[in-house]
Structure 1
């Protein structure tokens, strides 16, 4: 008993494992078929052609087979009805000689008439059965059939006999056993009037030959239809191959062009529409190549111009700076208006020098010369240092800088100079747009990444502006007066610094709710980011009725120009949008 109790669960477990394996294989098969259906235009066209042609050919085959069957049946009915009419007339003449069914030799006349109508041979092999009955004289006239059969009632139904006995010609198709095998019969019955009353004459014609002919016709039609469907499928496959092959070649060529292989072209064969497509594609590729090379040359000249101008302006700027420093140091002895001019000159020179520094850094990024000097660094003092340097600026515009940093060190392999510059740009941008509200800096860390968020409660970003916030020289409100003297390159430079670290720089904003920027960097240089320890959408952001969370989300990763997504991001979320 214990062995049986142990074996039953084992069998159930084996059956369950078999079921899981089969269902898993079926699921993979369906997934593969679905993928093939989505990716292959040729498969879709051929499949649709086969289905449509199968339905059409199947409908025609059914109509043709039904028409052939009806024609065969109509011919059989016409033949039987003709024989029945002549047989009833002949039987009426033979029985018209008798006034009563009890007369001598009447039964012999009945037998002779039935045999004559059956062809004169009681053993004829045509299969047609002639029967004569007299329901009104069942005790006097015995039913006769030629050839002799066992049970006539197995084919002639009582309803048909009652109709014929009532004086009407009637017919039916019925399957019964008159001999060794069950056979389908076409039964026709007709009354035969005599002097003493009425007898009934029946013709039972087997439909074996007609059924065989109809079956052969259906088989022929089905075979022809199947061959036609296969031919249509093959034709559709060939036609779609002729069309799809150049399209696939064009797609592969376009992929190579997008990968930078600008010399790729399609082969032009013939003069048809596909050849025209290939020629047009090649012309387009040539024009694109010419335009791209022209733009690359213009970009190269622009980068060189920016770099050369930035370097050349260093020398006169140094001279002007020395003179301005001298004037600024002696401003207390000047007239108040002149002293104010000296202060303005010093401030604008600071802005000019900062602009030159940013332009030089941008030119290094554009030329691909920027290098990362990563080393293990504690981010806590970096955040404190940035906050301390911007405290005076924040106090001047009435903004309070709040810090939320861990007490323990936060170590990551970063370039401290570049990260400090990114944070300085983010905090300075938040102070400028904070509208006098507090700016909060939060530092977070997990096993793979570190993150810093800078949150302000200013005007925020309008829908669509999150796509432009990292563009060079772009401002959210060009009509607003600058208070911090920004160059318009800070966020663009910050983006490049984040990319150089293999990190993300992301922005969220909503009108009236302020904005939040998040910098996420890998804890170890060279690692790939998958999550961020801090959420991008602030917890205090409101969700409007019937729509997504206000504002947009711009997630920017290494090698991307930014991708827009909308919606909240839970703590520790993956970057909300990845191209």
Structure 2
């Protein structure tokens, strides 16, 4: 019967591992990097920058490349699986080798015990030392020429000499103590390391009590088993590495077959989104990717047809509006001339006829404004609108726009307050179009001010100029700050239009601002009024990055962080 060795000895394999601590400062942690400006410091900083650039490059490629992620994941998972399988395989081989060796060793040791006990019982010689020496020699000869094991007979008392075929220190003290403390004649074994040809190698030691005075030990070198285990480990490592590489190559090829068509589809989609309606994908085979390409091509074809139909319809609509506007000018001119004659003679007409003539004159003027706006919006739609830029002061445009709307404000009892800076606010813009924008904004503010004052503010900074028109009337609901620039849109359709607008003023103003490379934005709150802000670059053609005036009035922006660029940069 055998007793197992301690678990930590069994888990250690065939022999103990030695670890050697590196000398102090060998890893560079305790050394000096050099003084500032030295070659060592520059090399360290260069290596640090290179490492950071490499990490950033890998991270960027990892996020952008599906191919890299799939192949890398396959390699990592394959390596983990191979490590697990290799560990299990090596553990099984190690366990099998050691179990077989233990069984053989215990069997040989039991045979040696039986032989030694028989010799001791049959011999009647008085020279027991000589007898024990002969027993050791006989048992040692059974190991053969290869020296499969060594034999030791040690006395149970430490001060007596023992007989052995090698050094007695091959038997570990823990095994000796375990046998001497045992009350039975069972066998024990453990692992140790022995000196063999000037080198240490693992060994298995089996021992048991021979008589009350002596103990018999067998020492079995495990060098052969260690060589087998090393061969198995090297084979597993080599085969595992080859399998990981092969799996990586397989993943590379398979992923490329999938990723390449996907990349091609992405490129085609980008070109289609950029406006190339003739873009199509190449169809190869009849698999799922081929079906994707066919579906993409069908979608692109249908999209191209629909866009062409819409372009034709839009072109016809623009042409119709332009033609109708031009054709209506001739009869309108005749009607206006006749109306002017009647309007000039209205004092001589009866009261009923005089009122009719005045209504005719106002409606003819409104009709003329509508035709002018339709012609202007058709020019923007056709891309035929041009700028006549010149350097001008935006303060003059504000004063002119307020002056044009003065009569309307007086009729409604509204005061228009101008807050203009003392310094000039010059910029390169088209005065005709900017005057029209400001006039529309001021008139629109008067229309919706509910009898309250209207404030017009101008400001400028190094790169931009801005004009804000603020009213304290009905305001705008959430989402209407964008809808208010749509053609013919009205916040409240039931509301009576007292100023006779055409419904195209803000749409044309938005187009004029965009033509300058500027912004026209709106803010409003129900019951708190609204504010419209026009922002223009000071130099024609420059990109507008910010506005010198806030879009949200300061009293509503408290506690919120607004940038100089405003809340809604287009």
Distance 2:277 2:527 in 1: 47
After superposition, the C-alpha distances for 1:366-390 in whole angstroms (9 at most, x for unaligned) are 1111111011112211110101111
Aligned residue among 27, 36, 41 for 1:12? 36
After superposition, the C-alpha distances for 1:163-187 in whole angstroms (9 at most, x for unaligned) are 4576432221123447622222112
Contact 2:175 / 2:207 at 8 angstroms: preserved in 1? Answer: no
After superposition, the C-alpha distances for 1:490-531 in whole angstroms (9 at most, x for unaligned) are 121112111211222223333444332222212122222223
Contact 1:377 / 1:416 at 8 angstroms: preserved in 2? Answer: yes
Which residue does 2:61 correspond to in 1?
36
Closer/same/farther in 2, CA of residues 54 and 422 from structure 1, 3 Å limit: same
Closer/same/farther in 2, CA of residues 344 and 235 from structure 1, 3 Å limit: farther
Which residue does 1:72 correspond to in 2?
97
CA RMSD for the aligned pairs?
2.7
After superposition, the C-alpha distances for 1:297-352 in whole angstroms (9 at most, x for unaligned) are 11110110010011111112222222333333344455545444433333332322
Contact 1:466 / 1:509 at 8 angstroms: preserved in 2? Answer: yes
* Bigger RCO (CA 8 Å, 6+ sep): 2
Which residue does 2:516 correspond to in 1?
501
Distance 2:46 2:500 in 1: 68
Secondary structure of residue in 2 paired with 1:190: strand
Aligned residue among 473, 485, 504 for 2:500? 485
Closer/same/farther in 2, CA of residues 272 and 427 from structure 1, 3 Å limit: same
Distance 2:112 2:154 in 1: 14
Matches within 5 A, 1:59-98: 59-97=84-122
Q: TM-score, structure 2 length as denominator?
A: 0.87
Aligned residue among 555, 561, 570 for 2:563? 570
Matching of residue 189 in structure 1 with residue 207 in structure 2: yes
Cα deviation for residue 475 of structure 1 reads 2.3
Aligned residue among 312, 329, 336 for 1:314? 329
Distance 2:557 2:421 in 1: 27
Matches within 5 A, 1:525-564: 525-542=540-557
Closer/same/farther in 2, CA of residues 408 and 422 from structure 1, 3 Å limit: same
Aligned residue among 163, 169, 189 for 1:144? 163
Contact 2:388 / 2:430 at 8 angstroms: preserved in 1? Answer: yes
Closer/same/farther in 2, CA of residues 391 and 86 from structure 1, 3 Å limit: same
Matches within 5 A, 1:160-559: 160-163=178-181, 167-177=185-195, 180-193=198-211, 197=212, 199-542=214-557
Matches within 5 A, 1:52-131: 52-97=77-122, 104-120=126-142, 124-131=145-152
Which residue does 2:9 correspond to in 1?
none
Aligned residue among 126, 135, 142 for 2:156? 135
Distance 1:23 1:438 in 2: 65
Closer/same/farther in 2, CA of residues 513 and 93 from structure 1, 3 Å limit: farther
Q: How many residues align?
A: 538
Contact 1:150 / 1:178 at 8 angstroms: preserved in 2? Answer: no
Distance 1:328 1:19 in 2: 92
Cα deviation for residue 153 of structure 1 reads 4.5
Closer/same/farther in 2, CA of residues 150 and 169 from structure 1, 3 Å limit: closer
Distance 1:229 1:261 in 2: 44
Cα deviation for residue 357 of structure 1 reads 0.9
After superposition, the C-alpha distances for 1:271-308 in whole angstroms (9 at most, x for unaligned) are 11111111111111111111111111111101100100
Cα deviation for residue 24 of structure 1 reads 3.4
Which residue does 1:558 correspond to in 2?
none
Which stretch of the first structure deviates more once superposed, 299-308 or 466-475?
466-475
Matching of residue 51 in structure 1 with residue 69 in structure 2: no
Which stretch of the first structure deviates more once superposed, 198-207 or 336-345?
336-345
Contact 2:484 / 2:490 at 8 angstroms: preserved in 1? Answer: yes
Gaps of 5+ in 2: 1-31
Which residue does 1:4 correspond to in 2?
none
Closer/same/farther in 2, CA of residues 95 and 165 from structure 1, 3 Å limit: farther
Gaps of 5+ in 1: 1-7, 550-567
Closer/same/farther in 2, CA of residues 24 and 349 from structure 1, 3 Å limit: farther
Contact 1:460 / 1:512 at 8 angstroms: preserved in 2? Answer: yes
Distance 1:117 1:84 in 2: 10
Contact 1:530 / 1:574 at 8 angstroms: preserved in 2? Answer: no
Q: TM-score, structure 1 length as denominator?
A: 0.86
Closer/same/farther in 2, CA of residues 338 and 160 from structure 1, 3 Å limit: farther
Secondary structure of residue in 2 paired with 1:263: coil
Closer/same/farther in 2, CA of residues 284 and 176 from structure 1, 3 Å limit: same
Distance 1:30 1:516 in 2: 49
Cα deviation for residue 21 of structure 1 reads 4.1
Secondary structure of residue in 1 paired with 2:533: strand
Secondary structure of residue in 1 paired with 2:494: coil
Which residue does 1:560 correspond to in 2?
none
Closer/same/farther in 2, CA of residues 172 and 397 from structure 1, 3 Å limit: farther
Contact 1:98 / 1:106 at 8 angstroms: preserved in 2? Answer: no
Distance 2:562 2:356 in 1: 50
Cα deviation for residue 215 of structure 1 reads 2.1
